[in-house]
């Protein structure tokens, strides 16, 4: 697999790994032993082009996934903080202009944002 990013929720319970081959972020439960053969317990919607960087919100209820194949950042939400099953994006936010996106578009997996970080100093504003 082409795994391009990984993050844990702040409480350490969930691990998300972005995967270009499945076009999704794969989610693992960290309470058990993880091995290369461990199956994911959840995943982001596969409609994202090429998930790259990702972050969880401080409360672990939101996941933000940069899409290297689109000018977008996808926002996912778990009302319960459980990341089991498939998750469709709550919203997708265009974060690059068409001009900037096309300048970096060497192939289908390029041109979009490669990472994401959160500034939480002003408190949550993504809900």
| Domains delineated in the chain | 3-103 (2.120.10.30)
**Six-digit token string for 33:** 């032993």
Q: Are 111 and 101 spatial neighbours (Cβ–Cβ below 8 Å)?
A: yes
Q: Are 120 and 58 spatial neighbours (Cβ–Cβ below 8 Å)?
A: yes
pTM for the whole structure? 0.88
pLDDT, tens digit, for every residue of 88-117? 999 999 999 999 999 999 988 888 998 888
Q: Is the pLDDT at 126 greater than 80, yes or no?
A: no
pLDDT at 28: 96
């Amino acid at each position: 697999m082409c795994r391009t990013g990984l993050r844990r929720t702040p409480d350490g319970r969930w691990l998300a790994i972005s995967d270009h081959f499945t076009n999704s972020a794969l989610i693992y439960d960290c309470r058990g032993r993880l091995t290369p053969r461990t199956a994911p317990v959840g995943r982001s919607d596969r409609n994202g082009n090429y998930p790259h960087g990702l972050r969880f919100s401080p409360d672990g209820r939101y996941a933000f996934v940069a899409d290297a194949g689109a000018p977008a950042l996808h926002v996912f939400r778990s009302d319960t903080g459980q990341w089991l099953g498939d998750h469709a994006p709550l919203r997708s936010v265009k974060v690059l202009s068409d001009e900037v996106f096309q300048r970096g578009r060497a192939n289908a997996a390029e041109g979009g944002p490669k990472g994401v970080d959160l500034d939480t100093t002003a408190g949550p504003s993504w809900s």
